Structure 1
Amino acid sequence: MKPPKKTVPLEPPPSCESSIPGPAPAPASSFDPPISFSTVIEDDHRTINSYAARLKKARTSQDRARLLGEVTWRMVRHDISEELIMRPALIAHLGLTGQQMAEHDRLDHERARTELMALFNLGVDEPDFLPRVNALMAELHEHMRTESGEQIPALERMLGPSESQRLGREYIRTFALTPELETLDPAIGLRRRVWATVEEYTCMDSAGFRVVWESLTEEQVCSAMSEYYGSRSGPGRGKGKL
C-alpha cells in the first residue's frame, strides 16, 4: 500500500494581498487565488485594446485627446511593467533566446512610444490623425499577438506554478505607476504628483520609472492590486476594465 500523498500548504501571498477581494475565493482561504503571469499580461493587453478601440471610434476632439492620453500612458506603463518584470524573466529563464525576445520587445515599444508622442504633436483634428492611429494599433495588435502566442508561452513552459504566480503578483504591483501617482514632497510637507502631465510621464526613461517603482509605499501598491482584483471579480471580469 502506497503511503498517503503529502500535501504542501499554499504559500501565503504578500501582506497586502490578504485583504484584496478576488474572483471566487476558496471558502477556507482569506486571500486571492493565485493568478498566472500570462493571465495578468493578457488582462493588461485587453485593457489597452479596449481604450484603443474607443479612441478609434471617438467623434469629438475632446474625446480623442482624452483617449489618446489614456492609451499613451497605459502603453508606456505596460512597457515599463515588462521592462521591470517580464524581460528580466525572459533572459533569466530562456538565455540568449530570451535576450533576443526582450530586445525585440523593447524596440517595438520604443517605436510605439515615439509614434504616440508624434500623435500628440500632430493634433487630434488633423486628417492624418485617425489613419496613423489605425496603423499604430495594427502594429501593436501584431506585437501583442507575438507576445501572447510565442514569448509568454515559451516563458511559462520554464516556470513552475508558484514562480508564474509570483511574477504575476510583481507585474500587478507595477499598476501603481499611473500619471496620477503622488509622493510626499519633504520640502513643503505636502503630497504632489510625480508627473505634471501625461506627456511628462511618457518622456520618463526606464531608469526614472524604476526609481519611482522602488519608492512606492505599501498603501499605493495595495491600492493598485485591489483595483486589479476588483476588476476581475466584477461584471467586467476578463474584459480589461482595470
Structure 2
Amino acid sequence: MYEYFEYYNKASGNADEQERWANQLIWEVARHAVGEEIIVYPLMEKHLGERGKQLADEDRADHQYVKEHLYKLEGMKAGTPEYSSLLNEIMEHLHKHNDSEEQNDLPPLEKEIGGAASHEAAASFKRTKKFVPTRPHPSAPDQPPFETLVGFLAAPIDKLRDVFTKFPTEEMKEAHK
C-alpha cells in the first residue's frame, strides 16, 4: 500500500496514472481492513482477553475512519489538490495504525497463540482477502458474523465495479520494479 501511494505521488501531473494507482491503493486497503476484521481481531479478543478487546475496538475505529475517508475519495477526481490532500491524510492515519498494530497488537497475539497458529492465521487472512469487498463500505458492520455476511454480499458488486475501474497496467507495474 505504501508503494502504491509512492507511485501515486510520483505520477504527479498525470491524472490517469494517479487514478490507476489510487484505485489500486484503495482496493488493497479495503481488502486488508476487512481481512483483519474477520481474522485478526476476533483472535485478539479470544486470546488477549480484555486488552485484546480494547485493541480490536481501537483498530476497528481506525478502520472506520479510513473507510469513511476512502469513501469520500470516490466522489473526487484523482490528481486534484483536494484528492491528494485527503489521500495524504488517510495515509498518515494508516501509517500510525499499522505501526500500532505491528508494535502493540501482533507481538502479544503471536506470543499467546504460538508460531503454528500464527502461520495458520496468516494463511487464512491471505485466503480471506480473495473473497472480501474491494471498496470501502463505511456503513457496513465491522464485527463478525454480520461484517462477514455483509462483506460477502458486497464483494460481488465490488468485483463487478472493478471490471470497469482503471488499475495500473502491467507496463506501469514493470516500470516500478
The two structures share one fold, judged by TM-score above 0.5: yes
2-structure distance, mates of 1:119, 1:58: 18
Choose from 65, 73, 76 the match for 1:111: 65
Identity percentage over the alignment? Answer: 27
TM-superposed CA distance for 1:71, in Å, is 1.0
TM-superposed CA distance for 1:56, in Å, is 2.2
Aligned residue for 2:151? 209
TM-superposed CA distance for 1:91, in Å, is 0.3
- Name the larger-Rg structure: 1
2:116 is equivalent to residue 162 of structure 1: yes
Paired residues, number: 147
Q: Which letter does structure 2 place at the counterpart of 1:202? A: P
Gaps of 5+ in 2: 141-146, 156-176
Q: Which letter does structure 2 place at the counterpart of 1:55? A: Y
Choose from 25, 33, 36 the match for 1:82: 36
RMSD of aligned Cα (Å): 2.2
TM-superposed CA distance for 1:143, in Å, is 0.7
Aligned residue for 1:50? 3
Is the 1:65–1:124 Cα contact (8 Å) retained in structure 2? Answer: yes
1:122 match: secondary structure = coil
2:80 match: secondary structure = coil
Change (3 A) 1:173 1:81: same
TM-superposed CA distance for 1:157, in Å, is 1.2
Aligned counterparts, 1:1-242, within 5 A: 48-59=1-12, 60-177=14-131, 201-203=135-137, 205=140, 206=147, 207-210=149-152
Structure with the higher helix share, 1 or 2? 2
TM-score (norm 2): 0.74
TM-superposed CA distance for 1:65, in Å, is 1.4
TM-score (norm 1): 0.55
Is the 1:55–1:67 Cα contact (8 Å) retained in structure 2? Answer: yes
